[in-house]
């Protein structure tokens, strides 16, 4: 999250909270794309309702069913923007266990990415930013 913190220090003062949205991509190389509903270690922070719903619509337009209802106790870059008051959502990836594939394991290599999932994430994001 250090990169996002640095981005925030540099750019948040000039970004209008009423007109700026953030979409975080998290582990999209896992086989099943999902909309992360909330995140937090000590306190669960829900992402913006309208952003989550817009992400779901973008997935439908891309011909993808995005899994809903998942939360994470991990911390993603999205938390920085969310806590700063920006509309924020996260498009994530999970496997059949509802956990990201190869997450921080030695097997977390390009060879083990699900490239169809990565391509799907790109399509969802394109439709999200161009409604």
**Residue pLDDT, tens place only, 55-100:** 999 999 999 999 999 999 988 999 999 999 999 999 999 999 999 9
Q: What average pLDDT does range 102-121 have in this prediction?
A: 94
- For residue 101, the enclosing domain spans 2-129
Q: Tell which residue, 6, 35, 49, has the closest CA to residue 124.
A: 35
Is the Cα torsion angle 87, 92, 97, 101 positive or negative in sign? negative
Q: How much is the mean pLDDT over the chain?
A: 95
Share of the chain above pLDDT 70, in %: 99
Residue in the structure block whose two tokens are 């948040």: 12
33: which DSSP letter? E
pLDDT digits (tens, 9 = 90+) for 30-48: 999 999 999 998 899 999 9
What's the domain count of the chain? 1
**Coil, helix or strand for 52?**
helix
- The Cβ of residue 125 has, within 10 Å, a number of other Cβ atoms equal to 17
Check whether 103 has a pLDDT greater than 70: yes
- Phi, psi dihedral angles at 123 (to 5 degrees): -60, -40
């Amino acid at each position: 999250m250090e990169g996002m913190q640095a981005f925030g220090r540099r750019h948040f003062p000039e970004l209008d909270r009423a007109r700026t949205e953030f979409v975080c991509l998290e582990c999209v190389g896992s086989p099943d794309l999902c909309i992360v509903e909330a995140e937090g270690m000590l306190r669960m922070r829900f992402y913006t309702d309208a952003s989550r719903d817009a992400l779901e619509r973008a997935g439908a337009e891309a011909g993808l069913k995005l899994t809903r209802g998942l939360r994470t106790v991990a911390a993603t870059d999205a938390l920085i923007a969310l806590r700063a008051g920006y509309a924020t959502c996260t498009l994530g990836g999970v496997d059949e266990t509802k956990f990201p594939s190869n997450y921080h394991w030695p097997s977390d290599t390009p060879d083990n990415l699900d490239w169809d999932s990565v391509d799907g994430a790109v399509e969802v994001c394109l439709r999200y930013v161009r409604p």
